[in-house]
Amino acid sequence: MTINASLERTELFQQDGFALTGPLLSPEEVEAYRDVYDQMLSGRIESGDKRSDLGSHVPRKEGVEENITQIMWPSALHPPLLRMPLHSRALAVARELIGDDAVLDFDMLIHKAPHTGVPTPWHQDAAYWVDLPDTRAVSIWMALDEATLDNGCMWYVRGSHREPLRVHRPTSDGRNIECDCSEDEPGATAVPLSPGEGVAHSGTTLHYSRGNTTDHTRRAYILNYRPAAMIQLEREQGMDHGLENNERKVRNKNAETAGS
Ligand SMILES: O=C(O)CCC(=O)C(=O)O
C-alpha cells in the first residue's frame, strides 16, 4: 500500500492542527495488529508498569480492569512491532507533516472496552511534556476498530494548536491530567475512522474522546514523532514517556496550574 504524499494533508494539518492520514493498513494487516494488541491486553505479552488506566479518576464498574487501558511503549515491550508496516508508514506521514528530521519519540495503545463509558479527559499532549525550543510534534492515531462517536472516536478543536496552552490540572485521583474544554467549544470536531485509517494531530491540539457505550471494543495504536534533536534534549531531561518511569503529570510550565 502506498501513502500519497498530499499537499492538502500538510496544509490541513498546519491550518487545523489535525488531518486525516487516509488508510495506513490493509484489512489483513489490521488483523495482524489486532492479534498483537489482544496479546498485550490479555497480559500474554507483559506490559508491567507501562500499563495504566487513563480513566482511573472514575470509579470502575464491577469486573472492569481499566476504564481506559493505556499501554506505553508497545514497540519496546514487543520489538517485532517495529518491523511491521505501521511504523515506517506513519514515519513517512510524520516527516511530510513536520519535517524530515522527525523520528519516533514513543508509541502507545489506548483501548476502550465495551460499556466502560469513560471519556478521555480533554487535554493537549504538550502539557504532559517538557517545554522544548522546537515544538514540532505529531501523533498518528490509528484505529484498529471502527471508531465512532459512541465508542470513542477522537475529537479535536480546530485551530487550538495556534493558541497558548491551556492551564492543565491533575485529574481528581492525580494520575492523569485534564483542562477545561467541551464538545460545545467552537471548532470542536469528531473524527470517525474505519479500521486501518489514521488521523494526525499536533502536540498542542486540544483533544478528547467520548466513553465507549457500545458492545464493541475500541482499539487505537498511537505513534508520536518529533525532531531527533528535541528527543535528545527530552531524554537529557529524563523525559522518556514512561519507558523508565511511567508518571503522568503536567510538565510544561506553560500549562501549569497555579499552586500545583
Ligand atoms: O484514544 C484516546 O481516547 C485518546 C488519545 C490521546 O489522547 C492521544 O492520542 O494523545
Determine which residue's CA is closest to atom 1 belonging to ligand 1: 110
Determine the pLDDT at residue 7: 60
Ligand 1 binding site (Cβ under 6 Å of any ligand atom): 110, 120, 125, 139, 141, 152, 207, 209, 220, 222
Ligand 1: which atom is nearest the Cα of residue 123?
7
192-214 tens-digit pLDDT: 999 999 999 999 999 999 999 99
- Structurally, how many domains does the chain consist of? 1
Instruction: Give per-residue burial for 27-38: e unless 16+ CB within 10 Å, then b.
Output: eebbeebbebbe
Determine the pLDDT at residue 1: 42
C-alpha cell at 190: 469528531
Instruction: Kindly report the number of other CB atoms within 10 A of residue 260's CB atom.
Output: 12
Q: From the CA of 58, how far away is ligand 1's center (Å)?
A: 17
Q: From the CA of 121, how far away is ligand 1's center (Å)?
A: 9
Query: What is the pLDDT averaged over residues 77-81?
Result: 98
Quote the mean pLDDT of the chain. 94
CATH number of the domain where residue 25 is located: 2.60.120.620
Ligand 1: which atom is nearest the Cα of residue 108?
9
Given a cut of 80, whether residue 10 has pLDDT beyond it is yes
36-49 tens-digit pLDDT: 999 999 999 999 99
Q: From the CA of 70, how far away is ligand 1's center (Å)?
A: 9
- Give domain status of residue 1, yes or no: no
Q: From the CA of 76, how far away is ligand 1's center (Å)?
A: 19
Q: From the CA of 16, how far away is ligand 1's center (Å)?
A: 17
- Give domain status of residue 104, yes or no: yes
DSSP-assigned letter for residue 252: -
Residue 117, domain extent: 7-255
79 burial via Cβ count (<10 Å: 0-12, 13-18, 19+):
exposed
Ligand 1: which atom is nearest the Cα of residue 220?
1
Rounded to a whole number of angstroms, the distance between the first and last alpha carbons of the chain is: 48
Identity (one letter) of the amino acid at 256? E
| Closest by Cα among 70, 169, 187 to 122 | 169
Q: From the CA of 69, how far away is ligand 1's center (Å)?
A: 11
Ligand 1: which atom is nearest the Cα of residue 209?
3
Q: From the CA of 23, how far away is ligand 1's center (Å)?
A: 19
Determine which residue's CA is closest to atom 7 belonging to ligand 1: 208
Given a cut of 70, whether residue 2 has pLDDT beyond it is no
Q: From the CA of 132, how far away is ligand 1's center (Å)?
A: 21
- Give domain status of residue 191, yes or no: yes
- Give domain status of residue 229, yes or no: yes
Pocket test for ligand 1, best of 110, 202, 205 (most atoms within 8 A of CB): 110
- Give domain status of residue 17, yes or no: yes
- Give domain status of residue 260, yes or no: no
Rounded CA-CA distance 50/5 in Å is 34
Determine the pLDDT at residue 256: 82
Whether this prediction's pTM lies above 0.75 is answered by yes
Banded pLDDT at 254 (limits 50, 70, 90): confident
Phi/psi zone of residue 110: left (φ > 0), alpha (ψ -120 to 50 degrees), beta? beta
- Give domain status of residue 29, yes or no: yes
Pocket test for ligand 1, best of 37, 154, 178 (most atoms within 8 A of CB): 154
Query: What is the pLDDT averaged over residues 168-179?
Result: 93
109-155 tens-digit pLDDT: 999 999 999 999 999 999 999 999 999 999 999 999 999 999 999 99
Given a cut of 60, whether residue 235 has pLDDT beyond it is yes
Query: What is the pLDDT averaged over residues 167-188?
Result: 95
Ligand 1: which atom is nearest the Cα of residue 218?
1
- Give domain status of residue 234, yes or no: yes
Of the two residues 58 and 187, the one the predictor is more confident about is 187
Q: Are 177 and 250 in contact (CB under 8 A)?
A: yes
